[in-house]
Structures are given as structure tokens and as C-alpha cells.
Amino acid sequence: MSAKLNILVLGGGFAALETAFLLRMRLHDDVDIRLVCESDRFVFRPNSIYIPFGADPESLYVPLAKPLRRRDIDGVVGRVVGVDADARLVSLADGQRLAYDRLIVATGAGMRPDEVPGLAEHAATIWTPESMLGVRDRFEHVRDRARKAQHQRVLFLVPPNNKCAGPLYEVVLMFETWLRRHGVRHRVDITWSTYEETYIQAFGPRLHELVTREFAERGITGHVDEVVTEVRPDAFRYADGIARPYDHLIAFPPYVAAVRYGALPSDDRGFLATDLQTRLVSGTDNVYAPGDAGDFPIKQAFLAFLQADAVAEHIAADVKGHAFTRPFDPVSMCIMEMFDTATFAKVPVELTGDAARPVRVRADANGQYRVGTSPVWRLGKKMLGYTVPMRFGAGQPFHAGQTWRAMDAGIKAMAGVLAD
């Protein structure tokens, strides 16, 4: 009898867990699976947008020991420091060296605020639950001073090389609603500044038009195509020399790969070069990079799920001797929270080859490109926030099985009524 295929998964986020759990669902006991993660908990990062408004950060975490054990996946808590692709070995910081037949690199992305001089020192940034607590402190300070009739200027900033600014759009719209509910909105100026040529540039004109309307109705002053070069304690400067003052700055920093792999091909930010459909790392036949660790330009949870599914299906087809029929198809779905309402978007995108605008809405998207706003979509947001942690907590992939089919059917039905 031949030995089982040894599959090593690096990471503990959406792409890593979806790949590991789906592989176990597809291949059962035909493979050995080991997962290496720096933490023994999964964090449902999309719900971190609620932390500035009072949510408990601990509510975002799912312990991994039980679901991994339940699916007979060997969990290792450790930090990856290198990959030897020729020897098929992964090195950890504690000196361990782990062998693999198939390697899934899903260590995700990190933030590099110091890429913009002064940003780390003077801005509250979003990304981790811990950083969101800093945003909460700023928001409460603004509210408390506004209650004392002190005028405040809050500026939201997206600098170049941010790969998915959607969460900050949610936070600024939620912040505006929150201020109104506290009766102090009239004492706070809210300004938005982004390097993008249009709002939520990657997701096309409909999202830009929607955000433009929302900003106008909510009295948010928005600016696009602005490249920040320096942040000072009370103002920051742009490439054209213009300075803009602020009292509080909330920013979503530039993205970089969370782990750099010198032995694997990558771009200047450390994101691994991949084949679009299979997520195979370029020049390899056994290393995959689903999710934020790879070079797909949009870093987003739903797209990470789709990439993870493609990886698991590609490996499963190989093991079973079947044709690979489920390549990565980049059709994003997201729900943008605003507290008083929410927006659903389904956006089929394609690569352009243009570094300035690396993706665009597909020209043949037709009825697949859908956008709609309704308070009902807030229920969809809450459902996702419940279902994903529940599935992962049970050792199940999110984007497969009866639960996902039911949810997918529900989303399609809602979109048919509440999105155009």
C-alpha cells in the first residue's frame, strides 16, 4: 500500500481553514492533513467593524483545537520562517521542519503603516481586534467632546497599496449613523480621502455611485485620487503639496504579505505569484496560495473562500484521478454595513494587467453585477457573522454542504428582490 498524501496547510484564517476542512470533506481518510498557525484561535475579522461601537473583541474568536481534532487534522501552533520547495520542507521558528507532499500557503496579509511617514504614530488604524479598540477610543473621545459643544474633525484615510478598503467604508458610514443616534452629528465634520480613482474602485461604477449618494445624504465630504505622502500630528500632506487638517485620523494601512517566502516567486510586497484558476504558485506543481497570501489583487474573505475551494477541488481531483472542473471564478459577494441600512453587492471581476487598476468588472457580467440597499441586508450580514464561526467551530467548510446551499439560495432570493 502507498503512503497517504501528506498535506500541510499554513495559516489559520478563511483560506487555510476552508481548504483544510473541505479537503477532509472531499477526501476523508485518503490524506493526512496538518495545519500550522501562529494562534490556536480563528478570528472572524469582518465583524471587527463592530468593536469601535462596543462589541466585545472576544466574541470574534473561535478556538481551533476541538474542530481540528474532530476532523483528524493535526494542529501545530508555530511561526513559519521558510520553505524549501526542493526538499519539500517548511521551517518553523522553534526549529521544527515539517515535510509535505502538497503545501497550501494561506498565511494571509499584514499591514505596514510605516510605509506612510507618520501614519503609525498619529492614526488609529483598522485591521486587528486590538487596533479596533484604538478606533473605539477615538470615537468615544469625539462623542464626549461633541457633547460638550466642542467641534471635531474626523478624517478617514485610504493610502496607496491598500488592497481592500471595504471595511473602512463600513466604519465611516456606521460612525455617521452612530453620531446621529447620540445626537452629536452636527458637531462633527467627517471627511473621506482615498488614493482610489473612484470609491471602492475594484468593484466598479455601481458601488462608486452608491457611496457618492450615501456621502452626499450623510454630509460626508469625500475625496478620491489623493495620494498621501506624510502624516503630521494635526494635518497630512499629499503628493501635490496640499495639506488637510484633522483632529482624529482613522486609516486602513497599506497591505503586505504576512510572511515572505524567499524560495517562492512573489511580487515586491511579498504576495506569491499564482495561476489564477488553480491557485498553484508559479513554477510549482504542489504549492498553492489561496486567499490574501497570493497575488490576486483584491483581499477579501469571500474571494478567499472561492480560492480555497479551487485548491481543495484541484487536489481532490488529482487524488481521485478525476478532471478538475471547479477553477477559481472571481465573483465577489459582500454586504456593507451602515447600522441604519446595508448594501449587498455581487461583482464578477477580471484581471486587467494594469498595475494602477488591476481588476475591473467583467464586460460580460450582464445580470451577475448586482447592487442593492435595504435594512433587510443587515440580517444577511448578521447571518454570515454567525454561520462562518459556527461552521469552522464544527470543523466544517463554510462554502460547501447543505448549510451553504441553503444560505446561497436565500441570498439569491433576496438579491432577486432587493438588488438590481
What domains can you pick out in the chain, each with its CATH number? Answer: 5-108+258-418 (3.50.50.60), 113-255 (3.50.50.60)
Q: What string of DSSP letters covers 81-96? A: EEEETTTTEEEETTS-
Q: Given a cut of 70, is residue 278 above it in pLDDT?
A: yes
Residue with cell 478525476: 322
H or E stretch at 397: none
Q: Which residues pair with 296 in a beta bridge?
A: none
Per-residue DSSP letter, 283: T
CB 92 within 8 A of CB 102: no
CB 304 within 8 A of CB 18: yes
If you average pLDDT over residues 244-250, what whole number do you get?
Answer: 97
pLDDT for the residue 413:
85
For the beta sheet containing 152-158, the strands, ordered from the edge strand earlier in sequence to the opposite edge, are 124-125, 248-251, 152-158, 188-194, 221-223
If you average pLDDT over residues 146-153, what whole number do you get?
Answer: 97
Q: Given a cut of 80, is residue 72 above it in pLDDT?
A: yes
How far is residue 275 CA from its own chain's centroid?
20
If you average pLDDT over residues 262-281, what whole number do you get?
Answer: 97
If you average pLDDT over residues 20-35, what whole number do you get?
Answer: 97
Pairing mode of beta strands 188-194, 152-158: parallel
Residues 347-401: pLDDT tens digits?
Answer: 999 999 998 899 999 988 878 899 999 999 999 899 999 999 999 999 999 988 7
Residues 91-133: pLDDT tens digits?
Answer: 999 999 999 999 999 999 999 999 999 999 999 999 899 999 9
User: Taking all residues of the chain, what is their mean pLDDT, rounded to a whole number?
Assistant: 95
If you average pLDDT over residues 79-83, what whole number do you get?
Answer: 95
Band the pLDDT of 1: cuts 50, 70, 90: very low
pLDDT for the residue 258:
97
Band the pLDDT of 22: cuts 50, 70, 90: very high
Query: Which residue, 182, 186, 115, 176, is CA-closest to 144?
Result: 182
Distance CA 326, CA 319 (A): 15
CA distances (Å), origin 277, targets 55, 302, 326, 331, 415 = 38, 16, 8, 13, 27
Per-residue DSSP letter, 57: G
CA dihedral angle for residue 327, residue 331, residue 336, residue 341, rounded to 10 degrees: -120
Q: Given a cut of 70, is residue 2 above it in pLDDT?
A: no
Query: Which residue, 381, 303, 390, is CA-closest to 348?
Result: 303
pLDDT for the residue 208:
97
CB 357 within 8 A of CB 380: no
164 by Cβ neighbours in 10 Å (0-12 / 13-18 / 19+) ranks as buried
Q: Given a cut of 90, is residue 330 above it in pLDDT?
A: yes
C-alpha cell at 332: 465577489
CA distances (Å), origin 14, targets 25, 271, 369, 398 = 16, 17, 24, 9
